[in-house]
Amino acid sequence: MRNILLSFFLISLPWLTLHAQDLPENTPGKWVGLLHVEFGAIYPDGKIRESISVRQNISSYYVDQVSNGSISSETYGVVLGLKWEYFNTRLKTGISTGVRYTGFRSEITGYSSDRANFFYLRYSMVNTDTKFARVKNISESNNFISIPLELRFIPFKFQNFGLFGKVGIEFSNFNLKKETDINFQEKTMESYQDEILDNIGISSNNFYSTLYGSVGFLLGKENKTNYIFEVFLPSLFLSRNNFALTEVDYYAGFKFSVQFQVKKPK
């Protein structure tokens, strides 16, 4: 799947250039400049990193019910971006780039009952001496600035409605802020947080890259403001070790955009 998407993206760029050269020089309304303001959410699919030693809480017995306890992880992100697109009205194809902010949050939580919503985190093991901390949750935040490069094709456009497909690749080498925090069951353990994080070796990259595809629709007249909604297809993280708490390979999500024409056809 990863190789197919990457190959399609790399092949499409030279195809667009060559096909554009075949059009007559006096083709009317050939190129327009479009500005996109975007907002969305993405949901990486992953699991707790194997290097983090967690153990679910013991079963809780109360009244006539039994809770076996559970540990779960979740990662999600908020996307804000500004992109410039060079769109060919005859090919119905555009190439865009810009700047994008993605704020990720990951969390590991434990639950056994209303009286015992924690799990055990092993943070030290020396010979026969093993130490655990009772933890309600561990959270991680990353705030990336990235540069996307996208190729969009609109095969169907009728009056104020159009359908499109998109493929893109994104690179980031700048993390505005990364932070990991432990919410302990006992508040007295808070002073040991840095020591525990060092002992369990939590770390991640300061950059990431993705390869993604999406489909969507747009509303609005040509040469006017358009409103766009798109859904990410299962998309890939090309980089590894992206998050300290979870291991992720794929993500999905959605995005809203407002498209303005800022450069007239020529």
Whole-number Cα distances in Å, 19 to 25, 110, 166? 13, 56, 18
Q: Which pLDDT score is estimated for 120?
A: 82
| Closest among 228, 85, 258, 212 to 162, alpha carbons compared | 228
Q: Which pLDDT score is estimated for 146?
A: 95
Confidence band (pLDDT; 50, 70, 90) for 241? confident
Q: What is the total count of domains within the chain?
A: 1
- Contact criterion met (CB below 8 Å) for 86 and 33: yes
Render pLDDT for 181-231 as a digit per residue (tens, 0 to 9): 989 888 888 888 888 888 777 777 888 899 999 999 999 988 889 999 999
pTM of the model: 0.80
**Integer Cα distance of 259 and 263 in angstroms:** 12
Does 69 map to a domain? no
What CATH number should be reported for the domain holding residue 162?
2.40.160.20
Does 129 map to a domain? no
Does 120 map to a domain? no
Does 66 map to a domain? no
Tokens in use for 254? 């959605």
Does 62 map to a domain? no
Does 153 map to a domain? yes
Q: Domain range holding 9? A: 2-20+30-49+75-107+140-190+201-263
Render pLDDT for 132-190 as a digit per residue (tens, 0 to 9): 888 888 999 999 999 999 999 999 988 899 999 999 999 987 888 888 898 988 888 88
Does 213 map to a domain? yes
Does 87 map to a domain? yes
